[in-house]
């Protein structure tokens, strides 16, 4: 059930209405209702996988009880191992077996495994729960509270990754079961503006991105302008798609008087990779730091080399968490390398912090280098194959030529005399092959790049400004949701 579908609007309206009705009449039944609705939401996609998530909840709940009562480290390892085994089978079995077969020079027929929605997210949340139960010897005793912590539908499929200490205490506060007009207004605003990000902005970039990357994955060559247009479009598509989902999740929870953590805070405004990761998918960054980087030794180890090794391992885990493929491993490795360079640079005596907002030359250059590095890494994140990624990178470097629609040569005097530029008539992958399509693509990129870099994010805007934006975008959003042939999935649903 997609957030941008009409059936979800009906589902959420019924869920919220009964939630508040029970909160006023029978508060003791409120969480049972919300838990049941969360299971319905998850089972809507593939009912048999309800058995998987229910089994995961029961096993982790019982293990948490035992760990809090004095269980030893071997029980913790068993619990973490079971969670990793589940995600390993469903998400990584074909990847690992295929890799081993390639090394052995043998053919491998992939297993027919359908990836359960949200398994990466709810697995991480429960691993954190088990670790904390072992560390603090405390856990949640009420099974419904725990089940709702795992399945709470606004964040179940694609996050934010919620820590149990953030959500479970809220579930014990009966005041949250009573309607709050201020929270409902804030939640509706965040939800609808997040919906606009998805159905208007992110989906608007999708045709440009798919045309080029699919062509590259199929073995085709991609010219300079096609490659850069696709990469910049995807850089913006994934931001507006995933931050839109996160805004909608935070907004829905707010309507129900529940606070979820912010997941994005203007990442493309940042002037370093370190700051980028403090503002991009913030809950994943927090998890990787607390449950991978620090247990490895973090920055407390004496050797700088060991610290950097821990950082690289953490980012490789983050890359592999996103997807079962070498492209994701390379993406994580690239960001690990970026972070090593960034940390090394900050250790130099002449380093000075740069701020793009201050419009200094150093700040602008730092922002440009950061944005370029992030955009280059997105090539591997989006490409379906290493060959496709290579084709895109070659195009970005100019190795496949500079191709433009013939109309450009007719309009701009002298451009036809520039070396290397070709005007074959139409370029199907560039703005749909027409001059108007090219102009629209460039304008769309510039407009929403400007918003992402120069504008304030939704959490920085005043209530009045949010309302104004909502009024301006409502018509576009309604048209896309109710008059589109079918809603599109969010990018992070595949993880």
Per DSSP, the residues of 396-463 read: HTTTT-EE--HHHHHHSTTGGGSTTEE--S--TTSGGGSHHHHHHHHHHHHHHHHHHHHSPPTTTS-H
In 113-200, the DSSP E strands lie at: none
pLDDT < 70 regions, the chain: 354-359, 409-410, 416-417, 425-426, 483-485
Rounded to 5 degrees, what angle do the CA atoms 166, 169, 171 make? 105
Q: Is 322 a catalytic residue?
A: yes
What is the DSSP secondary structure assignment for residue 281, as one 8-state letter? Answer: S
For residue 487, what pLDDT is reported? 77
Q: What is the pLDDT of residue 211?
A: 92
DSSP string, 32-92: HHHHHHHHHHHHTT-TTHHHHHHHHHHHHHHHHHHHHTT--HHHHHHHHHHHHHHHIIIII
Non-local (6+) Cβ contacts of 226 within 8 A are 212, 395, 403, 427, 429, 430
Can you give the pLDDT at residue 85? 94
| Given the residues 163, 322, 343, 351, the one annotated as active site | 322
Q: Would you say 455 and 357 are in contact if contact means Cβ atoms under 8 Å apart?
A: no
What is the reported pLDDT for 359? 61
Name the one residue in this structure whose structure tokens are 């490895």: 296
Distance of alpha carbon 82 from alpha carbon 65, whole angstroms: 16
Output phi, psi for 403, to 5 deg. Answer: -110, 135
pLDDT at position 114 is: 84
The alpha carbon dihedral of 23, 29, 31, 36 has a sign of negative
Q: How high is the pLDDT of residue 356?
A: 63
| Cis status of the peptide bond prior to 160, with omega within 30 of 0 | yes
Tokens of 316: 């490789």
How much is the pLDDT for 355? 66
Q: Nearest 5°: CA angle at 371, between 317 and 310?
A: 25
Nearest CA to 8 out of 144, 156, 200 is that of 156
**CA–CA separation, 188 vs 465, rounded Å?**
14
User: What confidence score (pLDDT) does residue 485 get?
Assistant: 67
Angstrom CA distances, 427 to 397, 408, 432, 433, stand at 18, 11, 7, 4
Q: What is the pLDDT of residue 483?
A: 67
Distance CA 301, CA 246 (A): 35
Query: CA 198 to CA 192: how far, in whole Å?
Result: 10
Task: Could you list the beta-strand ranges (E) of 112-171.
Answer: none
Cα–Cα nearest to 332, from 316, 343, 321: 316
**pTM for this prediction:** 0.92
In whole angstroms, give the CA distance from residue 484 to residue 77: 48
Query: Among all chains, which residue has been given the structure tokens 């070659």?
Result: 394
């Amino acid at each position: 059930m997609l957030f941008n579908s009409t059936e979800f609007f009906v589902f959420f309206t019924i869920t919220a209405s009964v939630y508040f009705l029970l909160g006023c009449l029978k508060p003791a039944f409120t969480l049972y209702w919300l838990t049941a609705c969360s299971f319905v939401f998850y089972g809507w996609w593939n009912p048999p996988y309800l058995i998987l998530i229910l089994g995961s909840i029961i096993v982790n709940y019982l293990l948490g009880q035992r760990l809090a009562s004095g269980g030893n480290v071997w029980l913790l390892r068993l619990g973490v191992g079971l969670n990793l085994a589940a995600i390993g089978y469903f998400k990584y079995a074909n990847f690992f077996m295929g890799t081993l077969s390639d090394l052995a020079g043998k053919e491998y027929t992939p297993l027919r495994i359908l990836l359960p929605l949200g398994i990466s997210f709810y697995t991480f949340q429960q691993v954190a729960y088990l670790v904390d139960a072992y560390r603090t010897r405390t856990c949640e005793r009420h099974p419904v509270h725990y089940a709702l912590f795992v399945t709470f539908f606004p964040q179940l499929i694609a996050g934010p990754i919620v820590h149990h200490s953030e959500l479970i205490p809220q579930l014990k506060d009966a005041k949250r079961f009573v309607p709050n007009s201020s929270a409902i207004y804030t939640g509706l605003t965040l939800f609808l503006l997040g919906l606009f990000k998805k159905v208007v902005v992110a989906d608007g970039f999708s045709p440009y991105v798919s045309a080029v990357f699919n062509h590259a994955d199929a073995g085709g060559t991609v010219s300079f302008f096609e490659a850069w247009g696709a990469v910049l479009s995807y850089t913006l598509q994934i931001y507006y798609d995933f931050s839109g989902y996160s805004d909608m999740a935070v907004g829905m929870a707010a309507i129900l008087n529940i606070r979820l953590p912010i997941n994005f805070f203007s990442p493309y405004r940042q002037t370093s990779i370190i700051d980028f990761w403090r503002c991009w998918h913030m809950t994943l960054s927090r998890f990787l730091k607390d449950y991978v980087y620090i247990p490895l030794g973090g920055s407390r180890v004496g050797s700088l080399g060991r610290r950097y090794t821990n950082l690289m391992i953490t980012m490789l885990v983050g890359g592999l968490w996103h997807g079962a493929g070498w492209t994701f491993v390379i993406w994580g490795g690239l960001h690990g390398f970026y972070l090593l360079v960034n940390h090394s640079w900050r250790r130099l005596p002449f380093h000075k912090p740069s701020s793009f907002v201050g419009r200094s030359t150093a700040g602008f250059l730092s922002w440009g280098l950061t944005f370029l590095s992030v955009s280059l890494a997105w090539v591997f994140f989006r490409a379906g194959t290493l060959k496709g990624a290579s084709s895109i990178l070659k195009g970005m470097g100019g190795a496949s030529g500079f191709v433009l629609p013939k109309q450009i040569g007719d309009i701009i005097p002298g451009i036809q005399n520039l070396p290397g530029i070709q005007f074959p008539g139409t370029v199907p992958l560039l703005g749909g092959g027409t001059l108007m399509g090219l102009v629209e693509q460039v304008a769309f990129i510039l407009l929403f790049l400007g918003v992402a870099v120069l504008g304030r994010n939704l959490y920085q805007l005043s209530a009045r400004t949010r309302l104004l934006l909502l009024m301006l975008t409502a018509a576009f959003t309604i048209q896309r949701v109710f008059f589109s042939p079918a809603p599109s999935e969010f990018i992070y649903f595949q993880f």
